Structure 1
Amino acid sequence: MAPMSNKATHPPDTPLYPIREVSRLTGVNSVTLRAWERRYGLIRPQRTPKGHRLYAQDDITRIERILQWLNRGVPVSQVGDLLDQPETVEPPAPASGDWESQRQQLQGTIESLDMARLDPLYHQSLALYPLSVAINELWQPVIMNLEAQWENKPDALVRRTLEAFLRNQVGIRLHHANQATRGPLILLNSMPDDPGPLWILMVALVASEHGYRVQMLDRNLPLEDLPQAVSRLHASIVLLTSGQSESDHYIHDLLPQAAKGLNVPVGVCGNVARLRENDFSSGDVHLLGNDLPQAISRLRPLLRESGIL
């Protein structure tokens, strides 16, 4: 890694920010900021006499540049060599990155049922990367690849083991996040042909990170029960997802009809949105896309447009 050019000390009159404020300003959680510092030396904040981190504006600018490289698909292990290069420098070719090796490692760990290894891989991925990057570059591609394999050669044991692991991890995260926010409540439901909750768990993670409260139903709730569920749970939006294309009757008839009977918006995201991107003509059903962080970012304008926010 190239030597760092930014200094750990700054002029006395430089404004300094605590880690919580830097996290709010940049959208990078404090766990990730500390991991970038300790593991890769990407940032070097000052310390108070009690050891608390303080960041200057050039640290914040550096964090923003790190995010730019990560969002261009560069693994965190390569970012240090690029930070001091001109902004016009092209990122390394995908073949020279380690995303593919990380995906292979994660998928191999899942398929070998090595749960002792899967736990640290999961937590490491969420510590080293903003959640949107971890989902887009690692977890979503692996889940899509596994589901494609399972179509031809089902492996119920691997699927259910992975589902149980993620249900536990995401459930813990949702429990604490729901208590810590007053954001709008998303009623998150799977579609009828989805064989398991892998997609809904990924959507729940991203939605929670964006400040929403999430009521996750990882088994399909029939469409006719949605009005009562929205009313009793005080949901602000219904979000549906699936790893399958779902039936024509469901997509063209049942879902639009159900959406008309609800007084909150209905959104569709995940792999079904990619597979059915040309099949949603009803204005009552909002196609949010297959890029999960981007799909969730589209909710707030939709809620404002509907008069809920």
Structure 2
Amino acid sequence: MKKYAIREISELTGVKPVTLRAWQRRYNLIEPERTEKGHRLYTQKHIDLINDIQGWLGKGVSIGKVKALLESGKQAESEVSANMAHLDDVEPVLDALASLNKGKAETLIHSVLKEYPLNVVETQFIQPVEQALGLVRQNLRSLQFGLFQTLMLTKLNAIIEAENKAARSGKALFISVQGSVDVPSRIMALSLVEKGCKVTIIDEVEDLSGLLGHPCLEEFSTLAIYSARAINESQMAAIQQLETMISGELILPELLQRLKR
């Protein structure tokens, strides 16, 4: 039976190594085998279990409740709403942001990023928090949203930096257009890191034409370009030229994909 190291399992399932360790140590969900030196080894059975865990998380079940559901079997599925919109951590984070309690909000964000896969973090934590903040009175919303963005960016950047050190599946160049340093940009960059890429991030790029014919571009197997808003004609022209020039993969967010058509 084929066995996988934790990095291989992470790339196969999309679950960060730190999250896999948390599922083992804190929640006793996964028990990998061990080498003589103590390194974790996983099998197809573990992969299937990880996929089952992600299935429950995708239904909105908090990680602390997954073990009981796994043990009780499929009949428990009817007891869980398939439309649960957010993690239990959303309300405590909103309370912490409302009181400008940086320490509490930081601790909660750290826990969520450690215990949940990126897709769950994005759809069941970040999006509900931002939607709720959108209902706050404008002068207070600016403060609370600013604190949330600051804490999320700091943590996401730290994760990217740490995971970059163990990257083993090629190099990716991540470019964010001027005025586009936000949480979605870092989620996009982190998704590349989780695929095993070593990501070089360059922010606040106004002129994309500098990439055209750049001698170092071929060193990267992936080029990702992010913008939070519509770009100008010269920037789009540069992207279209890059698409025909590079031998690797070009990744664009949905907004730029629509504009390019």
TM-score range, shorter chain: 0.7 to 0.9
Partner-residue secondary structure (3-state), 1:82:
helix
SS in 2 for 1:23: helix
Structure 1 residue aligned with 2:29: 42
- Show the counterpart of 1:126: 113
Q: Which amino acid is the alignment partner of residue 101 of structure 1?
A: D
Q: What amino acid is aligned across from residue 78 of structure 1 in structure 2?
A: K
Match of 2:99 among 112, 122, 126: 112
Report the Cα distance in structure 1 between the residues aligned to 2:202 and 2:91, rounded to whole angstroms. 29
SS in 1 for 2:135: helix
Matches within 5 A, 1:1-309: 16-47=3-34, 51-84=38-71, 85-86=73-74, 89-90=77-78, 92-93=80-81, 99-146=86-133, 148-149=134-135, 152-178=138-164, 180=167, 182-189=170-177, 197-212=182-197, 213-217=199-203, 219=204, 221-222=205-206, 225-228=207-210, 234=217, 236-242=223-229, 251=230, 255-256=232-233, 258-262=235-239, 263-265=241-243, 267-269=252-254, 273=255, 280=258, 282=259, 284=260
Contact 2:14 2:195 in 1 (8 A): no
Query: CA separation in 1, counterparts of 2:186 and 2:41?
Result: 35
| Residue in 1 that maps onto 2:248 | none
Whole-Å separation in 1 of the counterparts to 2:225 and 2:11: 27
Q: TM-score, normalised by structure 1?
A: 0.63
Aligned length: 244
Please give the per-residue CA displacement for 1:270-299, whole angstroms capped at 9, x wherever unaligned: xxx4xx99xx4x5x25xxxxxxxxxxxxxx
CA distance in 2: counterparts of 1:58 and 1:174, whole angstroms: 29
Measure how far apart 1:64 and its partner are.
Answer: 1.9
Deviations 1:171-208 (A, max 9, x none): 333334455353331212255xx7x7343333333343
Would you say the 8 A contact 1:177–1:208 is kept in 2? yes
CA distance 1:184–1:109, shift in 2 (3 Å): same
- Residues 103-126 of structure 1, C-alpha deviation per residue, up to 9 Å, x if partnerless? 111222223222222232222112
TM-superposed CA distance for 1:255, in Å, is 3.2
User: Who wins on radius of gyration, i.e. which is larger?
Assistant: 1
Q: Do the aligned residues in 2 keep the contact of 1:75 with 1:99 (CA within 8 Å)?
A: no
Contact in 1 for aligned 2:85/2:124 (Cα 8 Å): no
Q: In the aligned structure 1, how far is the partner of 2:5 from the partner of 2:55?
A: 22
Give the distance between the partners of 1:72 and 1:155, measured in 2 at CA.
29
After superposing the two structures, state which structure 1 stretch, 137-146 or 159-168, moved more.
159-168
Q: Give the share of equivalent positions with the same residue, in percent.
A: 26
SS of residue paired to 1:184: strand
TM-score by length of 2: 0.73
What's the secondary structure of 2:242's corresponding residue? coil
For the aligned residue pairs, the C-alpha RMSD in angstroms reads: 3.6
Question: Structure 1: which 5+ runs fail to align?
Answer: 1-13, 243-250, 286-309
Which 5+ residue runs of structure 2 have no aligned equivalent?
A: 244-250
Using CA pairs below 8 Å that are at least 6 residues apart, which structure has the higher relative contact order? 2
Deviation at 1:259, TM superposition (A): 0.9
User: Aligned partners of 2:124, 2:103: CA distance in 1, in Å?
Assistant: 22
